Amino acid sequence: MFELSFPPELEFFRDVVKEFVEKEVIPVAEEIDSKEYVPMKLVRRLGELGILSLPAPSEYGGADLGEVGYAIALEEIGKVSNSIATIVGAQIGLVVNPLWIFGTEEQKEKYLVALTSKGKIGAFGLTEPNAGSDAASIQTTAVRDGDEFILNGGKIFTTNAGIADIFIVFAVTDPSRGVRGGITSFIVEKGFPGFKVGVEEKKLGIRGTSTAELIFNNCRVPEENVLGGIGNGFKVALTTLDGGRGTLSACALGQAEGILEKMVHFVRFRGKLDGKTLHNQMIQWRIADTAMEVEASKYLVYQTVSLVDEYYKLLASKKHVSRDFRERLSRKTAIAKAYVSEVATRAMERALQIFGFLGYLEGLGIERMYRDSIITEIYEGTNEIQRWIIARDIIFRGMNEKKED
C-alpha cells in the first residue's frame, strides 16, 4: 500500500515546527490579527530556528532541507496562522530562493548569508498598479549610468515591505526588447538613496503582515546588484513564481487541515452536550467532503514541491532544463495552487456553517482563518491566471502550432 512518507530528518523537523507553533504561534495568533501588528519577536524566533532559510544550502547558512522541508513548515504554520506563514513564504520563496539560484558568489555571501544567518528580512517587488498578475506590464524603469542603474517608479502590495532590509525589484532596462531581454531584477538595500517604503495597506486578512508600496525616485543601484544578469529579470520572476505557487499550496493545505481539526473538535464537543450533532448527516457530509479534499491535496502538494525541488537544484547547478520540464512544472504548480487554495476556502465556508453564529464571532479563530484563507486564491498569480496556464499547456502541448513564448 502506497503511503506518503518523509525521511526521518524531515519528520523530526515537522515535530520541531509543530512544537514551535503550539508554544509560540497559537498564543498570539488572535492578538496579532486584532491589533494588526507584525510580531517581530516571533519573526526573530523563526530566524533562530532556521525556518526563514530552509531550502538554502548550508554553506550559505541555510538549513539545506529543500522545498519539501519548506513546504512542511508552511503546512504546519498555516494550520494556525496564515499571517506568519505569509511572512515565511515571502522571505523564502520570493527572496532566499532566487538569491541562491540566480545570485553570484558575491551576492550570496553578502545578501543570502545576511538573510539566513544575520536576521535580515527580504521582500519581493514585482506588482505595480498596472501590472498585477500580468508581470510583463511593469513600468518601473532602470537606466544605466556608468557602473550604476537609476531606478524610477513604484511597486504595490509588497509583502514584508515594512520590515524588510533586502528587496528584489524588477525594472525595465530595454523597452524595445519586451519581456524577453528587456526586464532586469535588482537587489536593493533598505538604505539606498532614492528608495523608500510607502503607505502600509489595511487588509481584510493576514493582518499580522506588512504590505506596503515601494517608491523609487532616482534610486541608484550598483551594477553588481543585478540579479541573474541584465535582461533576465522576467526569467527570474517566472522561475520564482512557478516554484512559489507549489509551496504556497502547502500553506493552503495547512489551512484546510487546521479548520478540519476545529470542525471535528467542535462537533464532538457539541455532540456530548446535545446528543444530536454527532449524528447530523449534513454536518457529517461537510466534514467528509473536507477530509476527502485534504487527503487528495496532501499527495498533490508534496508531489508538486518535490518537482520544484528538482527544478531549483538543476537551475542552481547550471544544468540544462528542457522546455518540456519547465512547462510541465508550470502546469503542475498552477494546478496545486489553484486547487488547494480553493479546497481551503471551501473548508472555511463549511466550518462557518457548522459553527453557525459562533463561527461568525471573533475569538474562536474561525472568522480570522476564513479571512486569511481568501488571499491564497489571489497572491502569486490569481487562480484565473492559473487556469489560463493549465488550459494553455493542455491545449497546445504537442500541437504543430508553436505556443507563444
380 belongs to the catalytic site: yes
d(CA 194, CA 216): 6
Q: Which of 225, 212, 241 is nearest to 169 (CA)?
A: 225
Tell me which amino acid residue 254 is.
Answer: G
The catalytic residue among 380, 384, 401, 404 is: 380
Q: Find how far residue 3's CA is from the centre of its chain.
A: 26
CA torsion sign for 305, 310, 315, 317 is: positive
381 Cβ partners below 8 Å, 6+ apart? Answer: 133, 241, 245, 334, 337, 389
Q: Where are the alpha helices (DSSP H) in 166-232?
A: 179-182
Residue whose cell numbers read 487541515: 257
Q: Which of 71, 165, 76 is nearest to 116 (CA)?
A: 165
d(CA 21, CA 78): 10
Q: Which helix (H) or strand (E) holds 284?
A: helix 281-316
Question: What are the angstrom distances between the C-alpha of 219 and each of 145, 156, 253?
Answer: 11, 17, 40
- End-to-end Cα distance, the chain: 42
**In 180-326, at which residue ranges do the beta strands (DSSP E only) sit?**
183-189, 195-200, 211-222, 226-227
d(CA 140, CA 400): 37
83 Cβ partners below 8 Å, 6+ apart? Answer: 29, 32, 33, 206, 207, 208, 209, 372
Taking CB atoms within 8 Å and a gap of at least 24, the contacts of 23-27 are 25/77, 25/80, 25/81, 25/84, 26/80
Query: Which sequence positions are flagged as catalytic?
Result: 380
